[in-house]
Chains A and B, each alone.
Chain A
Amino acid sequence: MSGLSGAELERYSRQLVLPEWSEAAQLALRAASVLVVGAGALGSPVATYLAGAGVGRLGIVDADTVEVSDLHRQHLHFTPDLGVAKARSAAAKLGFLNPDVVIEPYQVRLDAANAAGLLAGQDLLVDCSDSFATRYAVNAACCAAGLPLVEAGVLGTSGLVMAIRPGKTACYRCAFAEPPPEGSVPTCAEAGVLGPAAGVIGSLQALEALKLLTGVGEPLVDGFLQVDLTTLAFLRVAVARRADCPDCGGA
């Protein structure tokens, strides 16, 4: 693998100077393929930071189009993008941000049927989806493929982040065995969400993704971070792997 070019040294200089970072970390990012599922409130900061940081290949999965009610919290999309597919809108902005990153938009909803195909060739998945159905499908698919992932969710002014190395650390389903019953949890549309709350959770998610990709720092594995942004309470909850976990128990 060849070293960093002069242009890359300039672009990434503010992270290369960090004592924790290194040329090896930067080259690991450049060699990495990451799938971001969802180009909305969490996907915007995640994809922005990963593209900016220099991830080599970034897949963006989103079936929806940009609506005016998305714009307060989904900073990859702007008013002229109304009606445009989010995957395509996001890919355009990410291309402006960092032309060295290969951006691959997928205008589909990830489900059990297409998950394996979307995961093929990826080094990491970041789940920025907004539904429990997708979240459980992502966790099952990542466990089956042995693909590291960063889970997160945000609602109102609180959220959750969890890094997972399937087969080695507790998975999402080890922590939350079953999805909540249909209708018991308000959706984002019903409950609302503040833009900066999503920004905080998505930024934490991007940070965890960088840790898993480079080995820099200590990833948030075998537990999750529960964040309440009204009181600024950050609570780290430990989770152990479950031998009878339907997703990772046999791994």
Chain B
Amino acid sequence: MNRTLDITGLTCPMTWVKTKLELERLAPGDRLEVRCAAGEALENVPRSAREAGHEVDVDGTTVRIVRR
């Protein structure tokens, strides 16, 4: 399953809270595309996702995560 999430209007820690909870609803191997604002979210969300063991690819302000 592929999902998209827009967190451009959010600030830390809600950026990762929303992303993490969306990932919890997915099955392993599912993909989540997260639209981030440039800056803090774009730094923190990919890092938090990698630390949680997910596969992460950043393209501009779009963070693509494959749930572990």
Flag whether A13 is at the interface (Cβ < 8 A): yes
Chain-A contact segment, one of B10-18, B32-40, B56-64: B10-18
A16 contacts across to B, CB distance below 8 A: 17, 20-21
Interface residues of B in 14-68 (CB under 8 A from A): 14, 16-18, 20-21, 24-25, 48, 51-52
- Whether the pair B14, A9 counts as a contact (CB closer than 8 A) is yes
Q: How many A-B Cβ pairs are below 8 Å?
A: 26
- Whether the pair B24, A24 counts as a contact (CB closer than 8 A) is yes
In the bound assembly, the distance between CA atoms of A9 and B13 in angstroms comes to: 10
Interface of A, secondary structure class, is helix
- Whether the pair A17, B18 counts as a contact (CB closer than 8 A) is no
Asked, given contacts A22-B24, A23-B21, A23-B24, whether A13 binds B13 with beta carbons under 8 Å apart, the answer is: yes
A9 contacts across to B, CB distance below 8 A: 14, 17-18, 21
- Whether the pair A17, B24 counts as a contact (CB closer than 8 A) is no
Chain A 9-29 per-residue mask, 1 if CB under 8 angstroms from chain B, else 0: 110011011010011100000
Q: CB within 8 Å of A: which residues of B?
A: 13-14, 16-18, 20-21, 24-25, 48, 51-52
Q: CB within 8 Å of B: which residues of A?
A: 4, 9-10, 13-14, 16-17, 19, 22-24
**Top 9 closest pairs, chain A to chain B, by CB:** A13-B17, A23-B21, A13-B13, A16-B17, A17-B13, A22-B24, A17-B16, A23-B24, A17-B17
